[in-house]
């Protein structure tokens, strides 16, 4: 194992949240930040402080919460942005100001409409100003891979002289190739006289499907830091995937000869959490964390794995936090058996939470012959909320058929008080949603609706995901719900969105 540590800079909460459809509230961002800290991420880019008051508050709260990772905020190369960012990250024990300006001809001439001299001056001024309030300053040359290399060298040298300790060479539009990117890193290292005074960082997008390959190529060329996101989420086709980069370095250490500070056993937990809270599914065949990543169906493969796992598995599922145990829980399992399994899966729950989950587990076990780990994950994630539940479902009754108008009757509780109402709809789900709106006096516009099974079999848990637009707060809000009954799951999802909307009212 090499003594060189490549730092992992996670931008899930900044670039990742810019994924179409991904929107997180403060509680959800804190939950992800805490998991990133457990994962061992070196730098957490918590957001773009000047983007909105909500972003500022989230960064500031995360800065007060996280102790072991550096907290960064992005800012444009302008003083008001930098001042906001510095204020936001101030409570963090470890702070980084991340400022940027574009350096490619198409950005300088067409977007910024500035001279190259003016861009250089703005970059230097931004770094100097940032250093007055923060010792750790990172500078990014946006669209570096489409920039003139000699001009890029001049910018990098100048910002290092101004006080930048990290220089990032992002492939902003996913344009470069692995060999070209490695050549660029080497060119910078060989032609910037003061490059030894700063770390080289890389940030790759996946527009041509090469973000991970480009990042790893940069590591081979001597990059000191890789910027990435959980599950590879981000703008357009996304960013380089943290889990793929980290596990490639770990599994093929003979090639990369570096290591990271990542606790790989927390990868799967981080992946599931980000997927759940952003509403962005993980494709089944996704490397490292996909449902099929450690699954074997072909008879030859199964035979090989039974005899020797390494025949078809180049890494252990346990290494990324996926438990390969085949322990089966059913309706005859007791609370201690369930609690033991939950601990093995990495959950630390209160007695009250375990009691509640056990009740739901028994109901589920009565409906299913076997309860799988995926079911347990879903039960726990459905119980642990990242925003307060104003209303909770007490009972739900739906009448529907080919010759009758669908009707939903719902009882909700709020602070111990029971509310009940009914509504007609075009279908059972529509009737449920109208009844929920009548009780809560919160009306939304359904923008997205999806129902899917969490595990196989006819009795599988169903997960409903909705995106609802609430005009009175001008926000799209994601809601999720889990139940064996898809109508109940749909009701839980819509009520989850309503409860989140009430936080803004």
| Domain range annotation of the chain | 7-278, 294-321, 325-384, 392-502
How far is the C-alpha of 288 from the C-alpha of 230, rounded, in Å? 11
SS3 39: helix
Residues 165-202: tens digit of each pLDDT: 999 999 999 999 999 999 999 999 999 999 999 999 99
How far is the C-alpha of 24 from the C-alpha of 6, rounded, in Å? 29
Under a CB-based contact definition with an 8 Å cutoff, are residues 39 and 65 in contact? no
Per-residue burial over 469-501, b = 16 or more CB atoms within 10 Å of its CB, e = otherwise: bbeebebbbbbbbbbbebbbbbbbbbbbbbbbb
How far is the C-alpha of 358 from the C-alpha of 318, rounded, in Å? 25
Please indicate whether the domains covering 7-278 and 392-502 agree at the CATH topology level.
no
How far is the C-alpha of 493 from the C-alpha of 337, rounded, in Å? 29
Of the candidate ranges 239-243, 333-337, 409-413, the one whose mean pLDDT is the lowest: 333-337
Q: Quick one: pLDDT band at residue 385, thresholds 50, 70, 90?
A: low
The DSSP code for 69 is: S
* Fold annotation for 392-502: Double Stranded RNA Binding Domain (3.30.160)
Class of the CATH-defined domain 7-278: alpha beta
Closest CA to 481 of 466, 503, 499, 460: 466
pLDDT (0 to 100) of residue 369: 63
Q: Quick one: pLDDT band at residue 326, thresholds 50, 70, 90?
A: very low
| Beta-strand relationship, 404-414 and 445-453 | unpaired
SS3 65: helix
9 has a pLDDT exceeding 50: yes
265 has a pLDDT exceeding 90: yes
Residues 197-208: tens digit of each pLDDT: 999 999 999 999
Q: Quick one: pLDDT band at residue 321, thresholds 50, 70, 90?
A: confident
pLDDT (0 to 100) of residue 299: 45
Q: Quick one: pLDDT band at residue 456, thresholds 50, 70, 90?
A: low
Q: Which neighbouring-strand residues pair with 452?
A: 463
pLDDT, averaged across the chain: 90
pLDDT (0 to 100) of residue 298: 43
Q: Answer with the residue of higher pLDDT: 373 or 289.
A: 289
Q: Answer with the residue of higher pLDDT: 34 or 340.
A: 34
pTM here is 0.77
């Amino acid at each position: 194992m090499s003594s060189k540590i490549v730092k992992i800079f996670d931008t899930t909460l900044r670039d990742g949240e810019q994924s179409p459809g991904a929107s997180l509230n403060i509680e959800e961002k804190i939950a992800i930040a805490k998991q990133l800290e457990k994962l061992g991420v070196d730098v957490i880019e918590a957001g773009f402080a000047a983007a909105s008051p909500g972003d500022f508050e989230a960064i500031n709260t995360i800065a007060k919460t996280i102790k072991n990772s550096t907290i960064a905020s992005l800012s444009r190369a302008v003083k008001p942005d930098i001042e906001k960012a510095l204020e936001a990250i101030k409570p963090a024990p470890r702070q980084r100001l991340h400022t940027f300006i574009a350096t490619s001809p198409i950005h300088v001439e067409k977007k910024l409409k500035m001279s190259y001299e003016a861009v250089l001056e703005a970059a230097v001024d931004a770094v100097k100003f940032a250093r007055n309030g923060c010792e750790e300053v990172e500078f990014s040359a946006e669209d570096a891979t489409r920039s003139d290399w000699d001009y890029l060298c001049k910018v990098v040298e100048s910002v290092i002289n101004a006080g930048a300790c990290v220089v990032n060479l992002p492939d902003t539009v996913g344009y470069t190739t692995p060999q070209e990117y490695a050549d660029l890193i080497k060119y910078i290292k060989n032609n910037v006289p003061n490059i030894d005074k700063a770390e080289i960082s890389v940030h790759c997008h996946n527009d041509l499907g090469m973000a991970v390959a480009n990042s790893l190529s940069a590591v081979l060329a001597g990059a000191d830091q890789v910027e990435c996101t959980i599950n590879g989420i981000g703008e357009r086709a996304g960013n380089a995937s943290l889990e793929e980069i980290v596990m490639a370095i770990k599994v093929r250490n003979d090639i990369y000869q570096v290591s990271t500070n990542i606790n790989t056993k927390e990868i799967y937990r981080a992946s599931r959490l980000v997927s759940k809270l952003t509403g962005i599914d993980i494709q089944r065949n996704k490397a490292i964390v996909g449902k099929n990543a450690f699954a074997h169906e072909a008879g030859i493969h199964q035979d090989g794995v039974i005899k020797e796992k390494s025949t078809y598995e180049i890494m252990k599922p346990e290494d990324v936090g996926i438990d390969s145990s085949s322990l089966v829980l059913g309706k005859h399992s007791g609370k201690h058996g369930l609690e033991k399994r939950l601990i093995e899966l990495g959950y630390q729950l209160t007695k009250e939470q375990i009691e509640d989950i056990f009740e739901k587990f028994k109901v589920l076990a009565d409906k299913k012959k076997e309860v799988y780990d995926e079911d347990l994950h879903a039960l726990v994630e459905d119980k642990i909320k990242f925003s307060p539940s104003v209303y909770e479902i007490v009972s739900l009754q739906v009448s529907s058929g080919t010759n009758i108008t669908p009707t939903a009757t719902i009882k909700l509780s709020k602070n111990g008080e029971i509310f009940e109402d009914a509504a007609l709809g075009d279908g059972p789900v529509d009737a449920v949603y109208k009844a929920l709106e009548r009780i809560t006096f919160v009306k939304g516009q359904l923008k997205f609706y999806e129902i899917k099974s969490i595990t196989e079999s006819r009795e599988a848990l169903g997960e409903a995901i909705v995106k609802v637009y609430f005009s009175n707060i001008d926000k799209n809000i994601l809601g999720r719900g889990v139940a064996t009954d898809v109508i109940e799951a749909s009701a839980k999802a819509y009520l989850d969105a309503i409860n989140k909307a009430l936080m803004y009212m």
